[in-house]
Structure 1
Amino acid sequence: MRKIIVCTFLTLDGVMQAPGGPDEDAESGFEHGGWQKPVADDEVGTAIAGWYEHSDAMLLGRKTYDIFASYWPTADPENPFTDRMNSMHKYVASRTLTSVEWQNSTLLEGDTVDAVGKLKASDGG
């Protein structure tokens, strides 16, 4: 049976939002996109790398999938995360997507709770 481990970026005051560029997730008037980059250091990079070290797949929602799939396939190959992000299997939960094009991606079919339950019950890391 697989474990599902949630990894997220959260500020001390409770903002959970993508840490990328300033325009990455500006819905609902959020004006602090890219908040993590100015405070990131080697320790942060090591912690994030640890998220993926022992995982064989990612479970993504539509929005995160869209962000990742628009960036990682053409990301700098010298970036230590590029190969890992592209080669790792991705499972995508979405009610609006009809297909996923990023390599090693699978769109979960039917009810998300049931699909994730089946995924969790399957073999894998």
Structure 2
Amino acid sequence: MRTIRIIEHISLDGVIQGPGGPEEDPTNGFAHGGWAFLHHDVPGGEAIDNAQGAGFDLLLGRKTYDIFAGHWPHQSGPMADSLNAARKYVVTHRPETLDWGPVEALDADLAAGIRTVKAGNGADLIVWGSSTITPLLVAAGLADEVVLLVFPVFIGHGKRFFSEAVDPTELVLVDSKATQSGVTIGTYRPAGRMRTGSFAEVSA
């Protein structure tokens, strides 16, 4: 059984779109790309390295795959080497256009395809971006960990980490730290449906 770990750059108001640069993902007129760059520092990079581990595979939506495929093959260094070498499992209706390998297209039944990959032997599966599949992973009980790098910015609009169509979910914090640039890094494990209560029930 493989571990699925979601890693996200996320704003204080939940936006995950285009953290790396102005042209990364301008979908729907998003004009704030690059919001994570000025807050990136060495501790943040180390947190990402630790979350990914020494060897991993990637589980990506098609948009994130295309963004990565246009960037990482042209880079050098440990991060580029790791991403380029990883096997990519990609959610796509156009498997014939997957040129950045090693790569494998997932079955049309997305949840079943991910379960099959997860059930096999191999490295941890890392999910970056991919706003269309992260809610599915949590809702279907397929995500084992969620690592959120929360940046000290409000953006207002853009693709968000979670979907309004998914049931409210509770998570357990298992590790947290903060960087000098103001980024907080939290590692969570999904813990099922969100519980509710009332302060009116608390005795004085």
Shared fold, TM over 0.5 = yes
Instruction: Provide the aligned length of Structure 1 versus Structure 2.
Output: 123
Which is further off, 51-60 or 62-71?
51-60
* Bigger relative contact order (CA 8 A; separation at least 6): 2
TM-score (norm 2): 0.56
| Partner Cα distance (1:66, 1:47) in 2 | 24
Choose between structure 1 and 2: higher helix proportion. 1
State the SS of the aligned residue for 1:57.
strand
Q: 2:29 aligns to what?
A: 29
Partner Cα distance (1:110, 1:31) in 2: 32
Matches within 5 A, 1:1-125: 1-75=1-75, 77=76, 79-125=77-123
- Deviation of residue 98 (structure 1)? 3.1
Q: CA deviation at 1:37?
A: 0.6
Structure 1 unaligned runs (5+)? none
Distance change in 2, residues 1:10/1:21 (3 Å): same
More deviation in 96-105 or 33-42? 96-105
Runs ≥4 residues deviating over 4 A: none
Q: Distance in 1 between matches of 2:108 and 2:29?
A: 32
Structure 2 unaligned blocks of 5 or more: 124-204
Instruction: Please say which structure displays the higher CA radius of gyration.
Output: 2
Counterpart-to-counterpart distance in 2, 1:65 and 1:56: 15
TM-aligned CA distance change 1:18 to 1:48, over 3 Å: farther
* Paired residue secondary structure (2:31): coil
- The share of aligned pairs that are identical, in percent, is 40
